[in-house]
Structure formats: C-alpha cells, structure tokens
Structure 1
Amino acid sequence: MDFQLKTLSLAQAATEKTDALIVLLPRDAALEGGDALAGLLRDAWQAGDIGERTGRLLAFYKPAGVSASRLWAVHAGDLRAADVRTAVLAAVQAANASKSRRVLLVAAGALDAAALRAAVTAAADASYVYTTTRTKTEPRAIRQLTLGVPDAKALQPALETAVATVRGVEFAKEWANRPGNHCTPTMLAEAARSLAKAPRVRCEVLGPKEVAALRMGAFMAVAQGSAEPLRFIVLRYQGAAKDAAPQVLVGKGITFDTGGVSLKPAAEMDEMKFDMGGAASVLGVFRALGELQPALNVIGLIPACENMNDGRALKPGDVVTSMNGQTIEVLNTDAEGRLILCDALEYAKRFKPAAVVDIATLTGACVIALGGVRSGLFSTDDALAQALQAAGEAALDRCWRLPLDEEYGEGLKTNFADVANVAGRAGGAITAAKFLQRFTADLRWAHLDIAGTAWKSGAAKGATGRPVGLLLQYLLDQGAPAGTGKPARAARKSAAAGAPAAGKGGRTARRA
C-alpha cells in the first residue's frame, strides 16, 4: 500500500478524485462550514446517526457534493491515537471490502503525530492479506491511502516512522504466518540475510558446527530431534560509532514446536508455527531500522530450530549443559524456548550491550494471566522496564510488568542439576522468566512473553506482528531521531530510483 500526505481541509477533501472518502469525526467536531460535506455530516451528527461509540460507521453512496462515490463517516472519539486506531480499523475494513483502490482519509479536527502513526498502522493492519501459500485469494484492494491534514510538511517525519513500522510489522507477519515447511530454520536465516541489503545492516548465520564449537548445549539439545539443521542468526545494525554499546534483541525462533517427547495435544498444534513470533519480531525491527537509519547500534540474535521427535530427541529427565556451564535438568521437553534462549543470552554478553531484551512466545501461563491484550514484561532493571512500558503505550503495543521475586525461583531447584527447566503450573510465566534470569548476570535485561499477543486464533487466525511496534519505539527512544544516521550513498540512490512521484500538492508517497 502507498501512503501519502496532503495538505487538505475538509471542504477540499470533498472535491478530491478518489474512490472512497473516510472522515474521522471527533465528538467535538466543528462542522460549521457552508460546504456540502460539512452540511451532510452535521445533519447526520445532529440526527444521532453517528452514535456515541468510537468506531461507529455511517456509510453514504454517491453523496451530493462529494467526488468520491463512497463516503464513510466514523466516530473517532477524542482523536487520541487509540481512538483513531479503532476508527480507522473499522473504516478501512469497510473500504477494503468495497474494493476501493484509492482512499482518502481526513479528520474533522487536527491529527497529532501519534494519531497519524496510529491511522497508518491501523489502515495497514485492517487491509493486510496473507497470500504466500494460497493460490486463490485476492490481495488487499486498497492500493493508495492519502491522509489529508492541515500541514503535511510538519507530519512527514511521523509518516516515515509509521510506514517503516508497517513494513517491519508486515515482514514479521509474513514469516510468522508461513507454515513450518515454508519457514524452516534455514529459510528463516535466508530471510534474515535478505535484510542485509539495507545500509548498515549485516547478517551472519552459524550452523551446527559453529554452534557446537560455542558449546551451546541447551540449544543443540532442543534441535537434536529434528531433521532440519539449526541456525543461529546474528544481525547487526550500526548507525552509531563502533564503540557505542548496542541494544541487543534476542528472539525465540522455534519454527515448529511439537512439544517434543512431552507431546502437545493435536488440537490447534498447527498454531505452533507461530512459536517463532519472537524471531519474527526481531526480523521486523531490522526491516524497519534499515528503512529509518536511526543513530544507534542494534544486535539481533535468533536461535532457530524445530522441536521435533525422533530417536535422538531430548527426553524428560535428561541433563544438558548450557553455554555458560550451568547444567539443566529437562523435566518437560515442551519448555524448550527457555533452553534455546539461555544460550543466546549468554552469547549476547560478548557485545557488552547497553541492554538486552528477549522476546518469546514462551508460556501458556502468560496467556492465562494477560490474555491477548498485553504482552508480559519482566525485568531486573526498573529504568529499562519503564522505558519498554512507555514505548508500548506510545506504540499502542502494550505490555504489563510482572514480578521476579526470589521466592518464585524455589520451584526450579532439582537434585540432579544446577536448575530444572520447569517449576510446575503455578506462576508459570514468572518461573520461566526466573529461569532466564539465571543467565543474565551483569546485564540490563528484560523479557517479553508474547505468547498471548503474537497471533490470533479462530476466524481471525494469523500473526499480529507484535511487538515490532513496541520494540521499534523503544529503540528510537534510545537513539538519535530517525534519519540522523545519514543513509549510505547506495541507499540514497536506491531511494531516488524507486521513490514514487509526489501527488499534486502533497508529499511523496511511501510504499509498504
């Protein structure tokens, strides 16, 4: 989808040539103009047809005085970012269903930068269609979304950030949605390599021999039951000085999870293709970083493998040795994510990071605790936790901090190793985090459990792309503003060659 900003008033929007016009109406909308569109909306509002619920739609077909054949007026609350997201999701779903190709969106009031970003990401989310392994499906109908605002130039930076976020989210969705046979560890590594085409992004992929040389015994133990070879992916984005401490993101990359010998129930096991949602989010963030070129350094680490069964598979009661030398009794082979992450967290220490954030679809217990609304947040550093929580609020990709009291670690004690990999059902998301905490000595560390937020089930089954928005916002908050990294000459040439032409009176369109 192409996104474009254009300086337009509500009256001017009515005369624009477009297939569909969406008007966001705040509850305090000033509809005092004498033009046809203002009069139409004023009459509908006064009649109560718009209602009082944010996201309520009123549709018009070929309204008098409006160039667009379809018009949707939608209640947009107070035009806060969350209200705008709700309104745009509803309206763009309707516009996409009507097969409208060009859509103009305008508000009867001023959109700030946060609301504009919410509008762009919501529009992309509402119209997203997965097509890779489907032979009979229609792609998103909407080809261009123009946002009419009072001052396009002032909001252009917000548009660029929003479009980069959309690209990152959709990259994460693409790889998380792919079935396990279309997203093996090797394929995931190739997806990571493709990101290295962007300026300042590099990718290194380690195979079984290199991982064995590093003595990542926990990671290798999970992978040993699969015919697919493991991959350890190392992504680097350098937008600041080489000696600037990087932010490190560690994403769980279980490309399919049977549970191993501790086999999962058959029902809904297909959804275990989403168990690499943490890895997908890291890839999505790097996709956006390559676009925005912010002035900071970021490392992405992805341990990728399958959790499968054969005669070599890890067994309950086996004891494995992690990269840092701790021995682990594996009481449940379905608690495999923490086993691959602990070795990746140890590897992260070599970068002397400013902070480390791991992202994982780790526990069903987190789904019970928080549902699909907020991701679980755990951290040993209050400032880091607050930064992540603030970023989530700003990006509308929210998380909630859970405790790490020492008492929660008691259940991980065992007579046969330094630590067990599970501690029973009670507080399962917390005890999983306590396990990971053992491998984060001397790190500013946080853990995001996205088991409830990385995908949706039921009729809307599919990846959400979360928490790309949260992570990207957090990183941008840590570095200089996006764009100050001064993209390399090759990037500038590429951008110049591939940039769509600016619309009449508008800013340059961006493609996502």
Structure 2
Amino acid sequence: MDFSIKPLDAKSGFASLKTGCIAVAVFENKIISSAARALDGKGEISAALKSGDITGKAGSTLLLRNLSGANAERVLLVGLGKEDGVTEKDFLSSLQAVARTFSALGAGDATLALPFDVVKTRDTAWAVRSYVLAAREAAYRFDTLKSKKEPAPAGVGKVAFAVPAAQADAAKAAIAQATAVANGMDLTKDLGNLPANVCTPTYLANTAKKIAKEFKLEVEILDRKQLEALKMGSFLSVTNGSVQPPKFIVLKHKGGKSKDAPIVLVGKGITFDSGGISLKPGAAMDEMKYDMGGAASVLGTMRTIAEMKLKLNVFMLIPSCENLPSGSATKPGDIVTSMSGQTIEILNTDAEGRLVLCDALTYAERFKPAAVIDVATLTGACITALGHHNSGLFTRSDDAHDALANELLAAGKQAGDTAWRMPIEDSYQEQLKSNFADMANIGGPPAGAVTAACFLERYTKKYTWAHLDIAGTAWKSGAAKGSTGRPVPLLTTFLINRAQSDNKPTR
C-alpha cells in the first residue's frame, strides 16, 4: 500500500482533482465540509444529506458516482459526527470506515480530503498516522499456512492525503513513522498468530537475526550452556519439560551516542504455555501460543525503530522457551535459585512468566540502563482488573518511577494504545512469603496481577523499571481471534518521545 501527500488549496483544488475516489466529510444536522462544498456542483451531496441517505453520524459512509462537480470517478461521503464537537473516537471510527470501504473498492487510487485538524486536541500529523494504521489494519491478512488462500480484495492501492501546503512536510513525516509502526505491528501479529509448532524459541531467535541483518543491528543468542554458566536457574526451571531448546535473545539498536545509557525492553517469550505440571484447562488452551506476546511486541518495536533509524540506544532481551508437562518438568514445591542468587519456591508451575523474566531483569543490570521496561502476557488477573482496553502498568512509587510511568501513560494516550497504572506496595509483598525459600512464585488469588509485578520488582532494585502486563490487550478471542500488535504503538511512541527529549539542544 502506497501513501503520499497532495498539497491542495482547500477552497478550489478539489473539484479538478482526478482520482479514482475522493473522500470528503459531512456532519450531522446536514452540514457539509468545505471540500464537499467544492464538489457539490448541482447539489448532489446536499441532496443525499437532505434525503437521509447519509446521516453524518461518525463512521457512516455513502459512495456516489459521476458527480457533476467532481473530476473524481467516485466521491465517498464520510460522517464525522457533530461539526462543533468531533471527538477523537468519532474521527478514528470514521477513518476505520474509510479504510474498510477503500479495501473493497474497485478504484486503483484514492484521495482523503477530510478536515484533518477537526479534533481539537489533535493535529494533521496525528490524523495521517491514524489513517495509515487503520488502512494497514484493514489490509492485514494471516493466511500463510492455508493451502487454499482466499483471494484478498484488490482495493485501493494508492492513497493520497490532501493537506494544506504548509502541513505537507509534517504529513510526509507522519506517513513514514506510521508505516514503520505498521510494519512492526504486522511482525508482532505474524509471530503471535503462528502456531507453537512453528514459532518456537529457535524461530524467535532466527527472527531477531533477520532483523539484525536487515537493519545492521547487533544480535546475540545465548543457548542452554551459556544460561547455565550465567546461573539462570529460574529461567531454566521452566524449560525442563520441553524438548525445545531455550533461547535468550539479545538485540541492540545503537542509534544514540556511545556513552548514552540504553533503554532496555524485556519481552516474555513463552512460545507455548500449557501451565506445566499445574496444567491449564483444555478450553481455549490453543490461545496459549500467544504467551510470547511480550517477545513479539518488543521484536516488532525493535523493527520499527530500526526502520526509523531512531537516534536512541535501545536494547532488547527475550528469555524464550516452552512450558510443558513431562517426567522431567519442574514440580510444584520445587525450589530454584535465580541468577540474582534469590531462591524461589515454585508453588504453581503456571506462574512461569515471572520465572523467566526475573533472570532477564537481573541480566539487564550489566547494561547500566536508563530504564528497563518488561512486557508480558503475565496474568489472567490483569484481564479481570482491566478487561481488554488498557494494559496494566506497574512501577515503584518515587520521583524517577513516577516520571517513567507518566511518560508511558502519555505515550499510550498519544498512540491510542492505552495503559492504566496499578499499585505496587510493600503490603502486597507479604503474599509472596515462603516458609522454605526467599519467596514463593505466587501470592494467592487476591490481587494476582499486583503480586506478580511485586515478584518482578524484587529483581529491579538497581535501575528504573516499569512492567506492562498485556494479557488483556495482546490478542483477541472468538470470531476475531488474532494478535492485535499491541503495545508496539505505545512502546514506539515512548521511545520516539525519549529520543526527541534526549536530542534537544542544551543551553
């Protein structure tokens, strides 16, 4: 899909524009946009509104052909809601409606001539980015493993954004940025949607190698012997029941100054989670192929920032393995020693994500990071708490961690990939007490997402850290089952903002 900018005079340029389809806005109360007025030569658009063929409500559309006032073959009327109060949600639903219509349209090219600055809290660049992501979402297909692929609708292959000349450069930059984000999200979706017999720890490692080769990043893959030498006993305990070899994946994007401390992203890479000896119920267990959603999202993020050539040092760590039952699997009651030297009583082998992440978080210390963010489909309790709208965000409460939390929350709102801050307090740590080890790996049913984060927090004392629980946002179930690509937009926006902050000139 190709996107471009078409600088136009909003008052006079639309009628002469030759294109397969031009999308213009209409509003409730029979109001039409300036671009629509330019095409309303004999009043066909006004008549459509007056007759009720389109209401102007957000997300409504009506396709017209051969309008007397337009040089375009087709005119797509797009409802934006109330003219004096178009909300962000209204505008996004309208963009999604346009993307769906264009994906099934016979035209080869199209032009968006919407009022991109109609949302008071957003600018044209945001609107352009949002449409690119909506269009790529509408175009996404995962049929790699089907022997007979359904033919994808041809749809519109080229989309131009009609914007004022003064905004053209910002709009072009927005296209490039959104395309990179969409490419990262597509990678994340593909990895998540692959079955566990294909997307193994080795497959994730090879994916990291491909990204490194394409974008000239540094990559290192640690195997079992190296993990044993590092004394990653907690991580290795999860691998005991599987024949698939574990992989610890390190990928480095060195876009900043050599002396600058890196941001470290840590992604949980459990390529299939049966629960181990603490076996999960059979219903919907197939969805546990998505338990590497954290790994997939940080790989997608690394691909995005590498394509953008982001001027920031960002390192990625993925502890990856399967969690399966067998005669050699770790048992409830077993005690293991983590890389940090802390011992863990494993009361439930289905609480394995924290066991692989804690060693990765200890490994991150060697980079003397500016901040560490771990991303994991960690707890069903987070879905109970937040549903499928917000990812759970956990950090300690002090100046440095509050600042990091605020950055991540702001990036989520900016990207439309939101998170909600949850508590971490010493009182919750009491639930992790063990009679036989330094801690237990579960704290019981109450506040399960919080105690999981409290477990991880014990391994992050030497740096600023945040934890994102994406169990409710990484994939969808039911008829729409599939990976969402989240939280690539949140992470990417956070890193872009951090790079811009780090590269501001000092006085």
Are 2:164 and 1:150 aligned? yes
CA deviation after TM superposition for structure 1 residue 13, in Å:
4.5
Q: 2:79 aligns with which of 69, 75, 78?
A: 75
1:22-61 to 2 correspondences below 5 Å: 22-25=23-26, 29-31=32-34, 33-36=37-40, 39-51=43-55, 53-61=57-65
SS in 2 for 1:205: strand
Alignment of 1:299-318 (within 5 A): 299-318=315-334
Structure-2 separation of matches of 1:481 and 1:435? 31
- Distance in 2 between the 1:64 and 1:453 partners? 47
Aligned mates of 1:140, 1:361 — CA distance in 2: 33
- Give the drift of 1:407: 1.4
Give the Cα–Cα distance (whole angstroms) in 1 for the partners of residues 18 and 242 of structure 2: 56
Q: After superposition, where does 1:111-510 map in structure 2 within 5 Å?
A: 112-135=124-147, 136-139=149-152, 141-142=154-155, 143-151=157-165, 152-199=168-215, 201-380=217-396, 381-480=401-500
| Structure 1 pair 33–86 and aligned structure 2 pair: CA distance change class (3 A) | closer
Q: 1:474, 1:140 → 2: CA distance? A: 35
Residues 306-332 of structure 1, C-alpha deviations (whole Å, 9 max, x = no match): 111221111111111111011111111
**More deviation in 140-149 or 420-429?**
140-149
In structure 2, the residue corresponding to 1:181 is in which secondary structure? coil
Note the alpha carbon deviations across 1:133-172, whole angstroms, 9 max, x for none.
1231234634322222223233211221111111111111
Cα distance in 2 for partners of 1:9, 1:364 equals: 52
Check whether the contact 1:294–1:481 (CA below 8 A) recurs between aligned residues. no
Q: 1:296 to 1:75 in 2, by over 3 A?
A: same
Are 2:428 and 2:454, in contact at CA under 8 Å, matched by a contact in 1?
yes
In the alignment, the residues of structure 2 paired with residue 13 and residue 46 of structure 1 have an alpha-carbon distance, to the nearest angstrom, of 22
Distance 1:60 1:277, change over 3 A: same
Distance 1:216 1:34, change over 3 A: closer
Change (3 A) 1:13 1:426: farther
Counterpart CA distance in 1 for 2:3 and 2:455 is 44
Residues 378 and 446, structure 1, Cα contact 8 Å, conserved in 2:
yes
Cα distance per residue 1:384-420 (max 9 Å; x no partner): 0000000000000000001112211211111111111
More displaced, 446-455 or 106-115? 106-115
Deviation at 1:483? 11
CA contact (8 A) 2:15 2:39 kept: no
Question: Contact conserved, 1:82 with 1:118, CA < 8 A, in 2?
Answer: no
Query: How far apart, in 2, do the equivalents of 1:104 and 1:237 lie?
Result: 36
Deviation at 1:376, TM superposition (A): 0.6
Shift of 1:94: 2.5
In structure 2, the residue corresponding to 1:249 is in which secondary structure?
Answer: strand
The one-letter amino acid of 1:121's match is: L
The amino acid of 1:21's aligned partner reads I
Superposed CA offset, 1:429-453 (max 9, x none): 1111111111111221100000010
Q: What is aligned with 1:91?
A: 98
Residue 188 (structure 1) shift: 0.8
Alpha carbons of structure 1 residues 430 and 72: separation in structure 2 relative to 1, 3 Å:
same
Letter in 1 for 2:262: P
The 8 Å contact of residues 82 and 396 in structure 1, kept in 2 or not, is answered as no
Q: Relative to structure 1, is the Cα distance of residues 348 and 66 closer, same or farther in structure 2, using a 3 angstrom cutoff?
A: same
Deviates further, 381-390 or 92-101: 92-101
Equivalence for 2:120:
none
Give % identity: 48
**Alignment partners' CA distance in 2, 1:22 and 1:454:** 32
Contact 1:26 1:109 in 2 (8 A): no
Q: Secondary structure at the match of 1:272?
A: helix
| Larger mean Cα displacement after TM superposition, 261-270 or 45-54 | 45-54
Give the TM-score taking structure 1 as reference length.
0.89
Structure 2 SS opposite 1:180:
coil
Q: How far is 1:231 from its partner?
A: 0.5
Report if aligned partners of 1:259, 1:307 keep a CA contact under 8 Å in 2: yes
8 A contact 1:355–1:444 mirrored in 2 = yes
Change beyond 3 A, Cα 1:64–1:129: farther
Inter-partner Cα distance in structure 2 for 1:69 and 1:192: 45
Which residue identity does 1:141 align to in structure 2?
A: A
The equivalent residue for 1:3 is 3
Secondary structure of the 2:113 match is strand
Amino acid at match of 2:5: L
**Runs of 5+ consecutive residues of structure 1 not aligned to the other structure:** 485-512
State the TM-score, normalizing by the size of structure 2.
0.90
Which of the pair has the greater relative contact order for Cα pairs under 8 Å at 6+ separation?
A: 1
- Displacement of 1:7 in angstroms is 1.6
Q: Which moved more, 1:176-185 or 1:111-120?
A: 111-120
Whether the 8 Å contact between 1:292 and 1:483 is mirrored in structure 2 is no
Contact map agreement 1:5 1:148 (CA 8 A) in 2: yes
Alignment deviations for residues 197-250 of structure 1 (CA, whole Å, 9 cap, x no partner): 344521111111111111111111111111110111101001111110100100
Report if the CA contact (8 A) 1:173-1:465 is conserved. Answer: yes
CA shift at 1:105, angstroms?
Answer: 2.0
Is contact 1:323–1:343 with CA below 8 Å preserved after alignment? yes
**24-33 vs 458-467, which moves further:** 24-33
SS at match of 1:357: strand
**How large is the RMSD of aligned CA atoms in angstroms?**
2.3
Instruction: Tell whether the 8 Å contact from 2:208 to 2:299 is kept in structure 1 after alignment.
Output: yes
Distance 1:174 1:16 in 2: 38
Distance, in Å, in 1 between the alignment partners of 2:249 and 2:207 is 10
Secondary structure, counterpart of 1:197 in structure 2 = helix
